[in-house]
Structure 1
Amino acid sequence: MVELRLKGGGEVPIADGDTVAVGVVDIAGAGVRAMLAMRPPGAAALELELVGIPASADREGAAGPTFGDDVAGICLVQPAPGVSLIAVNRPLSAAEEAPFAHALASLVTERRAPLCIVAGALRLNVGGEGVVFQHAINGAAPLDLGANGGDGVHRLPGNLPIPDGSIAACVHSLRHAGVPTVCALTHGYRVAKLGSEAETDAAAAAARLGTAVAKGLGCARDGRADLAANYVWQPDEVAAKADQMYN
């Protein structure tokens, strides 16, 4: 059975009824950085692992950036009581995307999470650069995302494609599991060279998304935690697996 576990064994210490948010290494590295920016100074980032998939499929074709020297590939950050954040601090391979999403949906269902937030940056074919959009599924109430988001202002159309395999898989699995979910998404673009203007834009997307999600969760965001990538992003190609935002 595919599941998320503590590295070395043991159940993931997410409390019953926690709100859970997840961020991955998306096109701008914004989702994972949004999660890590809510890590309180000195707080642990517990290492998780995805178990139950063939080891040969683990990292194949998953080159790309990570963020922070002391942060594991998949980790759990708990910035406040009742809030658990899962930061996927490496690109998932195509073989890992669906298993990770299934494991995430199973975990939040077992913990009876009242809400899951999927945060990320995408190539969005909609106007509204510089804002954070949201789309609620399975009866979730829209969040107050502050100046860059908000309820009733920046909504995504229900048939919008999600050109990111990891985010699409998470949305699909959570929707199928019936978990109330808010997708918090912003415009993002590929970073082909470190130190470039594109990397600066990606950092701005990460900060924008992190500020909005922290507001929605009622958590503090450490502005010093705008972590730089240590490797360039994957090629700017439409993901083989995609999904749509429909309810």
Structure 2
Amino acid sequence: MIRVLLVDDHAMLRAGFRTILDSQPDITVVGEAATGADAVAQASALQPDVITMDVQMPDMDGIEATRRIVADPGVAAAIAIVTTFDRDDYLYQALDAGAAGFLLKNAGPEDLLTAVRALAAGDGMLSPEVTRRVLARFAQAPASASPAAVPPATAPAASTGWPELPEPLTEREAEVLELLADAQSNAEIAGALFIGEATVKTHVSRILQKLGARDRVQAVVIAHRRGLA
């Protein structure tokens, strides 16, 4: 059962999200919060798997709440920013703060369900259009502006032709990373490479570990910064 915490200062929107999510046999809403500060407290107390987080709220905005929740070693929730505003500053600040997804409130119910399940499974949740905007921004940023401290690339590895890492990527991991960079899901990657989804998850976990990335979105950013994808 996927445990979800809803964070939004509009009670009607929370009620709508709860109705959609609680209608599913594999998802349950375990709590609600109307402010960022309450979200931080509820995340620690309820230990949800996924948090849907608004941006503009009284007391503490969703970006700062996300940053505090991600920094708490006692909370393992994946956070999806859900906002009315398709603004690049919100998107980039959310990713810098550690959000694993970005969804607009005009998305359909199926998009919300897909996002919750994707984040619970350890996947990122950015549309291809948003992914391209993220990569365009971070690929051109100086290293100090990256959301993760990434050492400069060194000489190409002999086996793959890719810059060396403390532990090099295998050829299969390289293929998986290329498909991650195209915003493909685990199921799509499995179909493209003719392997099982469980195998894809194993490869993704190894890629995150080798790149020092906290999630798939950051892995793609790091890969582009290093010239790996």
Q: TM-score, structure 1 length as denominator?
A: 0.30
| Greater share of helix | 2
Structure whose residues are more often strand by fraction: 1
TM-score of the aligned structures, taking structure 2 as reference length: 0.32
